[in-house]
Amino acid sequence: MMRRPDAVGLLAVLAVLAGLFSETLARAAAPAREPVRVVKSGTTVTLYGIVFASPTAGWVVGSGGTILATTNGGASWKPQKSGSRENLYDVAFPAPRVGWAVGANGTILKTTDGGAKWTAQKSGTIVSLYDVTFLDEKRGWIAGADGTILSTEDSGASWQDRPTGSKAHLYAVLFLNEKDGWAAGALGTLLVTKDGGRTWTVRESGTPSTFFDIAFPDPTVGWIAGNSGALLQTLDGGEKWEDRSLAQPVDLTSLAFTDIKTGWVVGDRGAIFRTTDGGFTWSPYGRSPQTTFYGAAFRDGKTGVAVGDKGIIVQIAVP
């Protein structure tokens, strides 16, 4: 028997509604992404530094020469042989397979094959080296104890000790381009260079807080994080720094910005804070273990990783 046109239309509408209802149920049944999720690291040593060279490839460094690598965006981690027993505090990868790790007793390690092999480079110093940054595969800088700044223009074949005029421990170094750079450290120490790190001058920070990290989401907007909730912001490329400290007196150890408005800062006792308005407000994000974080990095605008005490690694997910 031939169906009437109105009956056929009704059946079509019902089929569409049934499909939409099924899709809604499927979405409701799908597990939501946890804002903060612990990932197995395979170690219990302290992890200090993290970097992503791509959305999938990343490295973590830590105590006793520990180096971990991921090829799936931080979902899982595998150890690499560093050839060192020194504590490693930071890692940088200016290219997908070329990277450096730095640490205690002047340790500098380099890889050219994504970490399959790490080779020691001569630093010319025995002080602890805390932070490393590279603009490209040739030009890099390292900050360390006793006001130490090292620089290279030949991929680390040689490192030059640059006078800073400071004896403060320097925990962070960052370059915006081949000329303009910043270093920060103990007791409010803030240094600036305009000649690629050959000379450094003191810039007034206005605080005695110890600084642990620097980030510039663009050339004019920058941030510094430190102990007791210290946060400083510049809107003019560092000519003037404003106090944006948190009300919570937690030590803030690492900054990560995904754009000029969206940023993250992590620190002690599991602290993770996020801003979505350029730093005017910072709010606690997710629930994390009460473990101190020392490093954080975002592989894209939606997923980040923080590392810290007792081998802790957490993934930070943005809905």
* pLDDT (tens digit per residue) in 36-48: 999 999 999 999 9
Residue 17 has pLDDT above 50, yes or no: no
> Do both 109 and 170 map to the same domain?
yes
Q: Which residue has the higher pLDDT, 319 or 253?
A: 253
Dihedral of the CA atoms 62, 63, 67, 72 (nearest 10)? -40
> Residue 16 corresponds to which tokens in the numbers above?
């569409």
2 with 89, same domain: the answer is no
- In terms of domains, do 97 and 82 share one? yes
Residues 155, 18 share a domain? no
Tell me what the mean pLDDT of segment 242-253 comes to.
95
61 and 145: one domain?
yes
Same domain, residue pair 5 and 64: no
d(CA 270, CA 239): 33
Examine the domain organization and report whether 48 and 89 are in the same domain: yes
Domain count, the chain: 2
Whether 67 and 156 share a structural domain: yes
pLDDT for residue 32 = 57
Residue 273's pLDDT is what?
98
| Shared-domain flag, residues 40 and 158 | yes
My answer on whether 13 and 82 are in the same domain is no
Full domain range(s) for residue 40? 34-317
Considering the domain architecture, whether residues 309 and 219 belong to the same structural domain is answered as yes
Query: Cβ(105)–Cβ(117) under 8 Å?
Result: no
pLDDT tier at 25, thresholds 50, 70, 90: very low
Domain co-membership, 160 together with 48: yes
Between CA 14 and CA 25 the distance in angstroms is 16
